Amino acid sequence: MMAAGRESSLEKERSQNVVIKLLPLREPEIFEQLSLPAKIELELFFLFTYNALHWINLRIKGIDPATHPIKHEMDRIKAVMLEWQELRDRDKRPKLDLAAAKRFINSGLQHPHKTVEMPLNKKIKFSED
């Protein structure tokens, strides 16, 4: 159990070092120069990292984070991250060719004013002329 605590502690320190290196990006002069997608990704990164550090801290203290309110917060952040990923990947989705779709639909539909005779299920006899 002590080894797991040490590993969690090391992971916490590594995560804190990453956050400390990225904190200057949060300064208003630098943050305002970032593009909107970069700002969103940076904010999501910080939210997730802070909550993950809190999760690790709870684990080190012996508290089960699955029963703590942090679990709900982590789930909420993950849902927002997935929503952002869907928005970001919107351009990569295939586009619908409307003209081709209309042609397919029009050729597949029967015209209501034309009647189509159903073939009879009988044998056809030809005359022997």
Q: What is the pLDDT along the chain (129 residues), one digit of tens a residue?
A: 456 556 667 777 777 787 787 777 777 888 888 888 888 988 898 889 888 888 888 888 888 989 999 999 999 999 999 999 998 888 888 888 888 888 878 777 666 556 556 666 667 667 776
| Cα gap 91→109, rounded to integer Å | 32
Amino acid at 12: K
| Cα gap 117→121, rounded to integer Å | 12
**Token code pair at residue 74:** 């982590």
First to last CA, the chain: 100
4 neighbors 21 (Cβ within 8 angstroms) = no
